A and B are shown apart, each in its own frame.
Chain A
Amino acid sequence: MEAFYIILLVGTVLVLVAALSSLLAFRFGAPLLLVFLSIGLLAGVDGLGIQFENYSFTFMLGSLALAIVLFDSGFMTPVHSFRIAAAPALTLASAGVVLTSGIVAIAAVPLLGFTWLEGLLLGAIVASTDAAAVFFLLRVSGINIRDKVRSTLEVESGTNDPMAIFLTVALAELVATGQGFSGLNAHFLLLFIEEMGLGVLFGLLGGMMIVWVLNRFTSDRGLAPIFVLTLALLVFAFTGAMGGSGFLAVYVAGIYSGNRKMFAKPQIVRFNEGLTWLAQIIMFLVLGLLATPSQFPAILLPAIGLALFLIFIARPIAVWLSLLPYDFTQQETGFVAWVGLRGAVSILLAIMPILSGVENGTVFFNTTFIIVLVSLLLQGWTIKPVAQKLGLIIPPRMGAIDKIELDLPGTAHHELISYRVMKDSPILGGERIPRWAMPSLVIRDGRSMRYQYAGRLREGDQVYLFISPAYSKLLDRIFASQVPVDEDDAEFFGAFAISPARPAKELDAAYGPGLLSANEQNMTVGDLVTSRLGGRADYADRIRFGSIVLIVRDLDEHEHVRSIGISLEPVEPATNLPIFINMREIAHRIRDLLRKYRGRPVPEKKG
């Protein structure tokens, strides 16, 4: 019994240290996950000397933690993000993963003396981007980038794990059983289709079940999150047991249920958030504990070489090829390539060769560990500067707000929401609270008063309003502080304004011809933009028409386009190297080359 207490003591102290260190990490901007990993390393066999070598236990614990993280990523992904990003993200998660594995293999064979199949296995292990790392870095570090790029990265990081897991498990088996490439046959493909198909199917059914059970059977707010968690794990386990990809299923179930009306949702979200933190901390800690740094020097150089190869060659090429058919700018493709953070999933997968009895299993594990360290260090630390350098950071739509949403008991047609009145906010400037909002209480200098008797609002007042949940976002603007106008905004939003109400034909007349397709001739500019964006425009969305780019500058309260900017100089390419450009640009360049070849004038390039 004494041993139990000691183990628990050590475990809790480690988790506590990790949780505390997050405070420091926020302050210094260090990639938090790296901190957790380091604490594990420090406490481990070559540091404080905790002996921990249970690979299969770690694999199970890690898988469980990953399932929780994936469920939460899905749960927090708005269906709108999923819709706009699904096609590019899924291409990245499928073709991208295969390409990355293949390209990594090319370098792994000579660097580590691997066979081709082993190289592919290592490639598959490091092929997936880490959902936790990507989510964390994009959300928490406050990088405001275009919705489509962010969503693509987030959805990619959630969906490529199942793909990489499948590849790793399958390849590890081929290597361990000595089947070699002969195992890569039609059966392999069928297995893949079966796993992913079942994953999606059970994920959807599971999502429906979660929503149904929650809305039908629960009446206790405290229990609701527990129901969600256990049901999610049920989906995970059941799908796995049926031969499907449990990871895919739990992610899909998360997306489905996260986008439905559900009982006690705020509590569930908060609970999941906390649990995801715990899952990540434990996953990274345990993986750090498991590693044996004293073995690292033996493969340090080739591993670092591989890491750099992955970061600078394999991932960029895979991303570029995967995104060819989609309309991403050169800068955006470059950014997607850079945000290829590896993380716990890769290390977790690196246990697989050891578990399946691959001969040099620890080489896989140690190499992967170093690759992940390099990736977290190099990319994790530089995401924001890189986004800035590439000109991808979009100006904030509104200033800071201080808002609290309170869930009301009973059927929720009303929500209680509270704002602190910010300096320079429109409400202080005399703008009225819309009629559909019911302001009821004002707290000023610690005294509460009814809104009717409060007179004019003052800075620092806390205002409580009842509103319909659907309108919740619309009030933000009124209570937000002013956004400082930036000089670069003109570059970002284009020099000129276009009125969305005008006929699109006029746009063609002024900047065409040939910008519009036949059925776009009769649209207004606003409709044109919305239709090209797939039915829903978002702040700072950009669409290219030939040589011009239209940018959504502002939306009205019904999310219709209110103002459009036109950029005549689609952000100058950072490089003239033909990398990261999409198919349309390739076509343009080939056309230019042909013209040059025939001695016809080419549109002048600015030098």
Chain B
Amino acid sequence: MALADLLQQDAIIPALKVNSKKQLLQELAAKASKLTGVGEREIFDIILQRERLGSTGVGHGIAIPHGKLNSISSIKGIFARLESPVDFEALDDEPVDLVFLLLAPEGAGADHLKALSRIARVLRDQELVAKLRKTDSATAIYAFLNEEQANHAA
């Protein structure tokens, strides 16, 4: 499963300015709404619901919020790089500045989970993360994320 399958270039927000976790989730929901046509409120509620269960901040400044929606047909990713990190209640208490939102159709089952763990694994690569933090170009971010993919496939 390649990241390119999950993330199109137009789903990348290269330099997002937000002040709080809530605002960050709202911005992500707004972007996702634009791309999928699903209501912003619905998306926001779903991912907020998941955050209540436990923060999706995985540490080292990275968060992977996610949720399942009835109304979309395929798995959809949105990537955001923040101008300045915000508190995400992550396990290691570090503020977050790289966020990968993953939305999956209700029936995606195992595919949803596999996509999530794939993203988590790719973003555990410290070198890649450093490169992502340094650029504010959507094209570059897209290339980095997929280059990593190519390396792993080799």
A-side residues, CB < 8 A to B, are 487, 490, 495-499, 502, 506-507, 509-511, 525, 547-548, 563-564, 566-569, 603-604, 606
Contacts and interface: CB of A to CB of B under 8 A. Distances in A.
Contact of A604 (B59, B66, B111, B116): B111
B52 A506 contact: yes
Contact of B114 (A497, A511, A606): A606
A568 B113 contact: yes
Contacts of B1: 604, 606
Given A490-B58, A547-B113, A603-B109, 14 more contacts: A495-B58, A496-B58, A496-B120, A497-B55, A498-B54, A499-B52, A499-B53, A499-B54, A506-B52, A510-B68, A547-B109, A547-B110, A563-B91, A603-B110
B91 to A, nearest CB: 5
Interface in B6-21: none
A497 B53 CA distance: 8
In this complex, the member of B52, B54, B64, B124 whose beta carbon has the largest number of chain A beta carbons within 10 angstroms is B54
Contacts of A502: 52-54
Interface in B101-130: 109-111, 113-114, 116-117, 120, 124
A568 B114 contact: yes
Nearest to A490: B124
B50 interface: yes
B67 interface: yes
B101 to A, nearest CB: 14
Nearest to A500: B54
Interface residues of B, number: 24
A498 B53 contact: yes
B49 interface: yes
A507 B67 CA distance: 11
Given A490-B59, A603-B110, A495 B117 contact: yes
Interface of A is mostly: mixed
Contacts of A569: 113-114, 117
18 contacts: A487-B124, A490-B59, A495-B117, A498-B54, A502-B53, A506-B50, A510-B49, A510-B50, A510-B53, A510-B66, A510-B68, A525-B53, A568-B114, A568-B116, A568-B117, A569-B117, A603-B114, A604-B111
Contacts of A567: 117
Contacts of A506: 49-50, 52-53
Given A490-B59, A510-B50, A495 B113 contact: no
Contacts of B52: 499, 502, 506
Nearest to A489: B59
Given A506-B49, A510-B53, A496 B64 contact: yes
B120 A495 contact: yes
B18 to A, nearest CB: 21
A509 B111 contact: no
Nearest to B62: A495
A496 B113 contact: no
Contacts of B113: 511, 547-548, 568-569
